[in-house]
Amino acid sequence: MSVLPFLGLRLLCMRRPERYTAFAPCYDVLSGERPVYGAGRRRIIADLSLRRGDIVLNLGCGTGLNFSHLLARIDPEGHVVGLDTRTAMLNQAQLRASRRG
């Protein structure tokens, strides 16, 4: 599978940030979030010096795809705070977080 559709979506949204609002409910599907990306997220997060109980600020959190990987390193006492410029993306991140409990 090609990553070009994802790159096209990313470039389109970077030029017109309000499009993230329109794409937020289906962003994870449209962006091509595949297992290989999850592996990359886990590898990068594993390289961070995170400890149980840390508080992590996830800037540009989008739909919260990093949340589960971060929480796996800092739970049960830790917290993740997600910030994004698009309210619609934060709404999706909140849904993701509420499903986790």
21 is in which domain, residue-wise? Answer: 4-100
Whole-number pLDDT of residue 2? 37
Please report, for the domain that includes residue 74, its CATH number: 3.40.50.150
Q: What is the distance between the alpha carbons of residues 42 and 45, in angstroms, rounded to a whole number?
A: 5
- Cα first-last separation, the chain: 33
Q: How many structural domains does the chain have?
A: 1
Residue pLDDT, tens place only, 3-58? 334 444 454 455 566 767 777 888 777 766 667 777 888 889 999 999 999 999 99
Residues 33/3, Cβ–Cβ less than 8 Å = no
Indicate the pLDDT class of residue 95, thresholds 50, 70 and 90: very high
pTM: predicted TM-score of the whole model, two decimal places: 0.71
Peptide bond before residue 76 is cis, with ω within 30 degrees of 0: yes
More confident residue, 95 or 3: 95
User: Which residue has 């794409």 as its token pair?
Assistant: 23
Whole-number pLDDT of residue 1? 34
User: What are the φ and ψ backbone dihedral angles of 81, each rounded to 5 degrees?
Assistant: -110, 120
